[in-house]
Structure 1
Amino acid sequence: MNRDQSVPPSVVCSNEEKMAIEWLKRNHEPEEELRSYWRKCSRPRLHELLTTRSLTPIMYIRNWHDILKLPSSYRLVPVAAEFEECRRQRVEKYSSYKTTIQPYIAVVSSEDYAVEEVYAVMHDTPWRMSSVLQAVDICFKMCFVVHCEFQPECAHLWLLIQQALYGFQTPNDQVISTVLEFISGGFLTVLKEKVGDTIPENNAKEKAEIYQMFDSCIQMFDGLHSQHMRIKALEESGAYVKPISFVIGHAEDIHTENGHPVNDTILLEGQYIPISDMLKGFLELPGVFNLVCSYVHELEKDVRKPNPKVSSLIQGKLWQTKIKPKFEGKFVLPLIYGFDAYEPNKELGSHTGSHKLGAGGDRILGNKKCFRKLVAGLIDLDTAGITIVTPEGQFVVHFALVLAVGDNLGANGILGMGFYYGPNEERNRPPSISKDDLLRNKHLKGTASETRCLARYFGLMFGHLVKEEDFPVWNVYLLLRKSIDILNAPILSTADAQYLGEVIRKHHLAYMEVFQLPLQPKFHLALHYEEIIIDSGPPVLGSCYRFEAKHKEGKKVARNSKNRLNLPLTVANRHQLKVASRFLCGRGLVPTFEYTHLARISLFNIKQYSLFHSVVPSEHLADTAWDTVRSLQLNGVIYSVGSVVVTAMHAPNNPVFGEIHTIQIMSNNNANFVLKMYKTLKFDEHVFAYLVEYDDSWSFVNQNQLITYVATERRILSDGKWYVPFRFSLQCLLENQYFE
């Protein structure tokens, strides 16, 4: 059907409709008249479409092709016909590229851009949705249900929806390549020409500078289109410290060829990350070396005080009398080496133990082969040191290995006595205690963290159940609890260490007297804690817990990797990429400051404002609205509304506690706390917690005014009284005050 026969003679048209059809045959503009005449002849066109059986919607669209191909034609076409034509064109386009159509969303709108219909199209079948949001949700989920890919035109947007809204990642996410394709996809070239056309020809210099700027943006990621090229670029920049592979030994493997078993020899490799390069990169970060020097200087000043308290390994006897004198005239820093192994595979899977990482203490290959690279690196740091360059000049820094720490399995691994006992639980919450464990096995199951947690709060859990005839047994626990309290203190003196020795000896005597049992070897080890504190400082500073915290990062990488050919290299590479990011960003010892539920609230709308406004400094009352949060994480410590902090220590067993009522966030990553204060009645040794009550006073303190960073919680026991436990004895925070 040609243009002259666009409306068949059988259709009766009015004069106005005939005039409109004739005008549309010969004119395509102006747009307003085009739209007016198109509406005027809508009745005969619709009648033609409904009564002519041989006329399909596609044929109808082709009859009016000259008009419908105009940029504004979407305002003229009935939505159903337009939708069908768009689908047809999309199929033809993808067929020409010999590719399949992935799930996509189609939105049909009216002239005023109001959404009328929404479809999610899958396998060329449109499914009508109730809203755009439902279409996005269904289309996104179908991509994973039927294993489709994101549409190439907007894959970067779907990836943003996946990671930002749905909050998960998959091993197949092509984040970097998607971004590179988006940046170099041509839109910058078009933008370059558009901007260039707006500059007059007589401004040739300005035009050349703008073109050069666009060219730099277009070529920004040249040479970075593969993982190998990106790693190489990071390595050349000095930010990426490449792991060094070294052969530990050989092993025999059996594989099948043509149905027959064949013996093969495979190399067993380890990965060593050069410690010297890592320390050099870290100390050259902005401000880090100056901060370290200042801290060491302050520690050395405290050592010269009479009967000083020890808060660092540098202040211990081991460092001051045996290690530091060997480096006379040199700047030396201590190193603590922590070793432990972890399981990257699923604990209950069939490959448990097959790819265990960190297991340097191999009984067959030997520690010498496993640790030779590490030992050589430590010797080099001790003798030659490293040269660092800072804005203040060049400095040579030596490092001395002071402690090698590990848990039971880790220490045995370093000493060559490694034995696999199975994976440990990760949660600190004690597991359920069965009657069988107590009566038959006579021991409790649980990890070190879980056991410590149980010991810390055992008095609060069961203290009210202890009867008078059970006091001798309970006294054994209290002596153990007092030892734990001192061992977890972050700062100790020589007198504190001596007092700990007395407590441990009393515990051992009470244990033998009450239980009528001989002491075990680990009881003997506890007698050396006094000497360890004097030599190396508070034991909590050399605890294995911080080293074990690195396991989570390595496990996550290992479990997301499907390759087990060289798992140590995979984990080491990913770790070094993270370090490279820190080196490139120049991120030194920056405090972490994270919070949740940020809200700007008028002072007058804060609960009980009338009660605490008198303690708030005037400069904080000038702003009638505060930025408040419900929870704040500062350097890994979480402060929440309702948490309890320590603001002062007036006398032994008389700390000043405050319950956080409001957390105010400042613009400089600083926080203030409005505290509802407690009155400390006494220290109840029976449950090993402080008995407190409200004293109807308030306080306003800055985060830096707290005498300890640790936050705790108030607990109510069966007697209805309030108790505040703490992770360590607060007496260590008093000047010239020691345990007694």
Structure 2
Amino acid sequence: MFVCFKCLASVEDYNDFCKHLKDHHNLSANATYRCKQYQCDREYQNVRSFRRHLISQHLNTQTIFDTDCTTNDCTLSENIPDTCSLLDPCESFEYHPLNNVCRENALDTAHSMLEKSAATLALSLFSDSGVNRKTALKILENIQLHITQVLGDIFKHVMPIYNEFSQSEIDNIHKLISNPFGNLRTEYKIIKYFTDINCYIAPEKYIINENVADNTVNTSVMLAPKSCTGAKLPLRSLFKKIFELPYTNTLPNEVNFPNFAHSLIWQKKIASKEGKLCCPFFIYFDDFECNNPLGSHAGVHSISAVYYQFPTMPQEYLSQLDNVFVAMLYNSSFKIYGNHSAFYELIKELTYLEEEGIDINTENGKVKIYFILGMILGDNLGLNTILGFSKSFSSNYYCRICKSHKSIMTKQTKADNALLRDQDNYANDIDQNNVTETGISEYCCFNDIPSFHVVDNCCVDIMHDIFEGVCHYDLAHIILYYTEIHYFDLVTLNNRLKLFDYSVTELNNKSVCIKQEHLIRSKFKMSASEMLTFVHLFPLLVGDLVPSDDPVWQFLTILLKIIQIISCSVVDAPTVKLLESLITEHHENYINLFNDTLKPKHHLMLHYPHIIEQVGPLKQLWCMRFEAKHKTLKNTAHIITSRKNISLTLLMKEQLAFANRLFVKKGLESRVELGKVIVRESRVDISHINDTSNQDVDLTCDFQWIRFKGTKYNPGMIIVTTNEDDFFFSN
């Protein structure tokens, strides 16, 4: 008995099996053939290979099902002709569906075949070096959810009326089931399909510079023209697609929490846009390494990336990487051609969005929105690079916010607002054209955007300034001081660090052990998120070993107060004044207690109060989530072996992910995740949470953890909630 791989029909005779494949499925000589004989699942790309396999492996040892048998036993067919052509069958046959041939054996065989195929697929995914185990599981889950479950539903509705279908209708059903992907079997067809339904927006190449490079032609090396290109996305098309997704509270006149749309700088930008609906957006610039940073090709294919984000989006969604979008990518080595060459296409697009706007389809009809660049974000080096300031932080005037000299900055504890950069002194510095005396290396190309001027771009990054800068300097001095006077040693600190129960706090980035060389170099082996956790937990780790009136301990409490204020999502005017005095006190104590000079990142802290007054809370300007976006592109680059135009390849992958979001119409979904059930029929008093009820509420279960709006809550955590002047503590 031969089993058809297309419809799973059982055909007793070899010649009849050949005729079945040709007549019922119209298979060509170059079609793909799969062997479905007993315990065999090989695949062949043409009929000749398939025929040789059948003759050599199954012709004399074919397990068949006897159509006349009344038991579940199977008989072995022998003496089958050893010469016949699969392309030229010689006899007719009678069609036997699998469920009509020895029913129980047929179902067992079908189950065995399916189980084997599923195991083969799972093993092939888990053994693929380019697919990690988590991704393999996700692929299997998606196949079950979007393919096999749908096929099961089709069978459930079709089988009761199967006998009513004509042969052509049955063939169409078999064709659908055997080839569910249809025309989506190649990358070209997938991209074409999603392009035709307006989900995929292709990235575009643009020329940064034309030069001459060596080229090999017919074994001869010669000089030939070569274009240095970057890859960009059409922002006006993307903005339209993003704002037509099912969002809520995305427009600036609908926001219900303080954000950039309430800042003084934004009001200044839209002063001339009266009567127009304007929406701000941020762009972010930074470099990332797509190769092994320790390998021989490190830096060769380093990528400069430009991302964008909408600060008026509901606050709990701003941290999601899906809501950090890519605008353009290019090779970092192309910076030598200047910022204008790299960003001229982006500037042209941003100018169009501000002056012309785009029409957005809403439930109430079309609305024209004008998108205005609010801020350019980045770390200190990235911002100084693309904004045209000095890239050396040992230069005389490295600050992009004020014109203080470096000799003053090393001991400056209060900001001098008279030295702030403005459009007048900026123009004078450009005319002077002396980076040593002005700190400006070139005119900022983004000033060509109508509402933007670089001196108004008061941007700082607390991730790099505080958690990768000041905290390292301060804690290194603090720990050295306490170990030298023997309040505790590094062994004690590291033991407490390792044994601390991180599950009782939302800060779950466990820090590594601290070594003496870290303290000497004032640089811990910690990421920004790990330092954020460490600096908050440090008082809990050693607080019982240090007197509360110790001056260095008081210095630590000042640092923690500063971190608490700059991490807030809402900061009022009195708090800004408090922050200003705390920073001054912090800097004075740093100089006096540790006999050390202030670093450039200490100086940038002096501008924090002024920037909060102009822009709003500093947390909306930090680079933490943009840096996390790098990981998505790095992961893609690591599984791609080719580096030819890697920028375009990464953008294609990013756009395929965005096409999936458009296809399923994924907007801003609920951010509530529940862990495993751990207790049944638990009774919990939540009257303090629900203002409309003062009664106990019966819950059907407790959960191992709950993640709400990105924060994970574990059993044992203490949560503080407020109701006017009353505080409630829940454990």
State the TM-score, normalizing by the size of structure 2.
Answer: 0.58
2:359 is matched with: 387
Q: Equivalents in 1 of 2:541, 2:671: separation in Å?
A: 34
C-alpha deviation, 1:395, in angstroms: 0.4
Spell out the pairing of 1:663-702 with structure 2 (5 A cutoff): none
Shift in alpha-carbon separation, 1:243–1:71, aligned structure 2, 3 A: farther
Q: 2:203 aligns with which of 243, 265, 271?
A: 243
2:325 is matched with: none
2:511 is matched with: 430
1:124 is matched with: none
2:269 is matched with: 323
C-alpha deviation, 1:314, in angstroms: 1.4
Q: 2:721 aligns with which of 630, 647, 652?
A: 647
Spell out the pairing of 1:207-606 with structure 2 (5 A cutoff): 223-250=183-210, 266-286=226-246, 288=247, 291-293=249-251, 296-299=253-256, 311-320=258-267, 322-358=268-304, 362-415=334-387, 428-439=509-520, 441-467=521-547, 471-598=550-677, 602-603=680-681, 606=682
Shift in alpha-carbon separation, 1:196–1:493, aligned structure 2, 3 A: same
Q: Is the 8 A contact 2:289 2:302 kept in 1?
A: yes
C-alpha deviation, 1:260, in angstroms: 6.8
Shift in alpha-carbon separation, 1:94–1:656, aligned structure 2, 3 A: farther
C-alpha deviation, 1:328, in angstroms: 0.7
2:427 is matched with: none
Deviations 1:643-688 (A, max 9, x none): 232221655xx843312xxxxxxxxxxxxxxxxxxxxxxxxxxxxx
C-alpha deviation, 1:568, in angstroms: 1.1
Q: What root-mean-square deviation, in Å, do the aligned CA atoms of Structure 1 and Structure 2 show?
A: 5.4
Q: Equivalents in 2 of 1:615, 1:467: separation in Å?
A: 38
Partner SS state of residue 550, structure 1: helix
Q: Equivalents in 2 of 1:540, 1:434: separation in Å?
A: 31
Amino acid of the structure 2 residue aligned with 1:159: L
Q: Equivalents in 1 of 2:63, 2:258: separation in Å?
A: 85
C-alpha deviation, 1:528, in angstroms: 1.0
Spell out the pairing of 1:613-652 with structure 2 (5 A cutoff): 626-648=700-722, 651=725
C-alpha deviation, 1:626, in angstroms: 0.9
2:72 is matched with: 75
C-alpha deviation, 1:533, in angstroms: 0.6
Shift in alpha-carbon separation, 1:390–1:219, aligned structure 2, 3 A: farther
Q: Equivalents in 1 of 2:147, 2:686: separation in Å?
A: 56
State the TM-score, normalizing by the size of structure 1.
Answer: 0.58
Deviations 1:595-641 (A, max 9, x none): 22146x642xx4xx4x8599899999999771432122233221222
C-alpha deviation, 1:414, in angstroms: 2.5
For structure 2, list consecutive stretches of 5 or more residues without a partner in the other structure. 1-57, 89-101, 306-329, 394-463, 469-507
Q: Is the 8 A contact 1:196 1:211 kept in 2?
A: no
Shift in alpha-carbon separation, 1:175–1:498, aligned structure 2, 3 A: closer
Deviations 1:180-228 (A, max 9, x none): 999999x999x989956426x9xxxxx9999999999999865434211
For structure 1, list consecutive stretches of 5 or more residues without a partner in the other structure. 1-60, 98-109, 119-131, 137-150, 202-206, 300-309, 660-740
Partner SS state of residue 302, structure 2: coil
2:121 is matched with: 159
Aligned length: 513
Q: Equivalents in 1 of 2:378, 2:612: separation in Å?
A: 17
Amino acid of the structure 1 residue aligned with 2:561: K
1:8 is matched with: none
Partner SS state of residue 358, structure 1: strand
Q: Is the 8 A contact 2:122 2:140 kept in 1?
A: no
Q: Is the 8 A contact 1:249 1:365 kept in 2?
A: yes
C-alpha deviation, 1:313, in angstroms: 1.1
Amino acid of the structure 1 residue aligned with 2:519: L
Amino acid of the structure 2 residue aligned with 1:327: K
C-alpha deviation, 1:357, in angstroms: 2.1
Amino acid of the structure 1 residue aligned with 2:618: P
C-alpha deviation, 1:330, in angstroms: 0.5
Q: Looking at CA atoms only, which structure, 1 or 2, has the larger radius of gyration?
A: 1
Q: Is the 8 A contact 1:644 1:658 kept in 2?
A: yes
Q: Percent identity, aligned pairs only?
A: 25
2:315 is matched with: none
Q: Is the 8 A contact 1:335 1:399 kept in 2?
A: yes
Partner SS state of residue 713, structure 2: strand
C-alpha deviation, 1:521, in angstroms: 3.1
Shift in alpha-carbon separation, 1:184–1:269, aligned structure 2, 3 A: farther
Q: Equivalents in 2 of 1:373, 1:413: separation in Å?
A: 18
Shift in alpha-carbon separation, 1:69–1:334, aligned structure 2, 3 A: same
Q: Equivalents in 2 of 1:257, 1:364: separation in Å?
A: 28
